[in-house]
Amino acid sequence: MDRNSIVRAALAVSAMAAIASAQTSLKDAFQGAFRVGAALNPGQFEERDARGAAIVKTQFNTISPENVLKWESVHPRADSFNFAPADHYVEFGERNHMFIIGHTLVWHNQTPRWVFQDENAAPLGRDALLQRMHDHIRTVVGRYKGRISGWDVVNEALNDDGTLRQSQWLKIIGDDYIAQAFRFAHEADPAAELYYNDYSLENPAKRKGAIELIRKLKAEGVSITAVGSQEHDSLRGPSAEEVDAAISELAATGVKVNITELDIDVLPRASRQAGADVSLKVDAQAKLNPYAAGLPEDVQQALAKRYAELFGVFWKHRGTVTRVTFWGVTDGNSWLNNWPVAGRTSYPLLFDRKGEKKPAFDAVVAVAQK
């Protein structure tokens, strides 16, 4: 073949690949490898955001609730639950035959202060807080028994150095609060998958802490299906090698690994930003928001390459990695427009603000077609 026909043939192949990926959904591309999902807001699961809802139905086979099952949303006051949004979330998942995730039962954030206090605002004792945790888990998990298939039982219990975070849960109940939460969840729905979920598990010290925690839970006979690695990543890191090592080492404890909150931040790192601590707030500055008018092509391509690299690792570990969930559907809905700096224009997902597939979408689908 002369050079021109080689070029023509190569163009034809890449055009075919583009057409194939345009027609393939994420869930079909990774069928048999792992489930692919997204975190949803009420506009999407109540179908007021018709475009968002349509993307979810076409592309994903598992969903997570971005906020509606967090303690402050579902159980805002001691004597009242707010189940309507969570009911709508679960009904949407059932209508569309999706694997429905619950997020999250026990966390130090988005949990009202009253949870840790008695009626006189004095700190609760161990037994009273355990009782409250038990009631909450029994009520929430029990309500969706057999409908929500997997729960993030405990979220972010570890510090970056791998020690247990000094949360109110730990201070009042003690180290065993994690095992207790898993026991209560298992009691409320024995068939549900139960997960420990955290960020920065590529950091060796934190990962060591997670591995010790999982081994301890298993040694105590606690039912734990998977560890959730959030993967709020950036263009710079973690590297594919670090993600690969983290998955291998976490899986060596005998649990599955789920990628639970994937996004890739292309914006400049705000000061003190590392991991995904939702309480971090950084003041807005123009230099922290460089792409308000649009994403430059080179950054768009860098994002696609980075997504391909990470999905290459997930693909290698398919079977061990049983789910990959994006934290949002389109760039316009991403929490990264408001964290850790409010009001930025962020581009961390596979669908743009118009709901169109970005080059990163094709790059991800291509990983499964190799």
Residue 261 in contact with ligand XIL, rule: CB under 6 A: yes
The yes or no reply on residue 326 touching ligand XIL (CB under 6 A) is no
The CA-atom distances, in angstroms, between 176 and each of 130, 171, 172, 220 are: 10, 11, 11, 11
Q: Determine if 151 is a binding residue for ligand XIL (CB under 6 A).
A: no
Q: Which residue is nearest to ligand XIL (CB)?
A: 335
Q: Is 202 in the site for ligand XIL (CB under 6 A)?
A: no
**Cβ distance to ligand XIL smaller for residue 110 or 225:** 110
Of 144 and 315, the one with the shorter C-beta distance to ligand XIL is: 144
261 is catalytic: yes
Report the nearest approach of ligand XIL to the CB of residue 366 (Å).
28
Q: Which residues, 43 to 72, sit near ligand XIL by CB under 6 A?
A: 66-67
Residues 276 and 290: their CA atoms lie apart, in Å, by: 21
Q: Catalytic: 119? A: no
Nearest distance in Å: CB 101, ligand XIL: 11
**Residue 310 Cβ, how far from ligand XIL at the closest point, in Å?**
17
278 is a site residue for ligand XIL (CB under 6 A): yes
331 in contact with ligand XIL (CB under 6 A): no
Q: Residue 327 Cβ, how far from ligand XIL at the closest point, in Å?
A: 6
Per CB under 6 A, does 230 bind ligand XIL? yes
Is the Cβ of residue 67 or residue 111 nearer to ligand XIL in the bound state? 67
Residue of 156, 193, 202, 231 with catalytic role: 156
By C-beta, is 55 or 68 nearer to ligand XIL? 68
Residues that bind ligand XIL (CB under 6 A): 66-67, 155, 230, 261, 276, 278, 335
